[in-house]
Amino acid sequence: MNVLVTGGVGFIGSHVCERLLTAGHTVCALDDLNDFYDPAIKQNTLRELQARAESFAFVHADITQRAELDEVLGSMPFDQIIHLAARAGVRPSLEQPALYQRVNVEGTVNLLEAAHARGIKKITIASSSSVYGVNSSVPFSETDPIFSAISPYAASKLACEALGHVYHHVYGMDVCMLRFFTVYGPRQRPDLAIHKFARLMHAGQTITVFGDGSTSRDYTYVDDTVDGILACTDREFGYEVINLGESQTVKLSRLIELLESALGIEAQIDRQPLQPGDVPITYANIDKAQRLLGYDPQTKIEDGIPRFVDWFRQQNP
């Protein structure tokens, strides 16, 4: 199978590429290598992927440029697309809302249009638990109302879900929207809490904690998320929206305790008020994923944090 993975040298995308290559597929990773974080990180990941298999190809391209996508999709007869490329993060989206709409919404339209033009019927697209907003019903279910986004990032992902349905309805494309819940693990983006906290604690610096530590997240180990993504590539759905979480919640204070234990370092904490756009809890109902994908997350946070720290120490001896 020939698979295009957009955002293919990012955190989740690189793990998807590795798993596809291991399964014997031909993979083309598309990424614009932007400066949201140090591009050298992605360059290192790219070298690892290139060394892994001859069936891996990389294309430097920007999903906001339709002509570039047309060229990429015309270079190989792709069977499927896994669309992970996006501007990520709630807080940065508050500072650059237009950029988030351009990349996430217009970029997704460009990809759907280019795929339709080439007759590519199956596409798996990354959405986010942020679409649930401040949801009073927990755990979050795919049938919950989702019309109260509280960040530009969340709004952009809601728009992508609507666009996916349009291209299924109008053109018969097989589209699966996957709502990710706080993915972590090796290669996690340096701006995300677990990686940022580990880096600062390792350097003996203070970590900034917004709120009293009671906010809770459904932290999902990257291997479990990739299991769900790849299960989508083996099935046809028409159009579906599916949660991919661990279906357990962990308070921020507990997360810090686990990092302290794994690193052997006591955190120095600077407490600040909660930030706009943050939600008090994320918590996935994964019944649908279990039923449709055979999804069965295996890695509890007590095991996942030490695994992340092992990788972190290798990168930061």
User: Tell me, what DSSP letter sits at residue 106?
Assistant: I
CB environment 196-207: b (16+ within 10 A), e (fewer): ebbebbeeeeeb
User: Tell me, what DSSP letter sits at residue 283?
Assistant: -
Calpha distance 145→292 (Å, rounded): 21
- Element containing residue 82 per DSSP (H, E): strand 80-83
In the residue annotation, 153 being an active-site residue is answered as yes
User: Which of helix, strand or coil describes residue 128?
Assistant: strand
Q: Which of 153, 184, 221, 283 is catalytic?
A: 153
- Token pair for 228: 């769900």
Task: Report the candidate in 172, 162, 165, 187 with the shortest Cα–Cα distance to residue 7.
Answer: 187
Q: Look up residue 178 and give its amino acid.
A: L
- Token pair for 128: 């986010």
User: Which of helix, strand or coil describes residue 273?
Assistant: coil
Calpha distance 150→133 (Å, rounded): 6
Indicate which residues carry an active-site annotation.
153
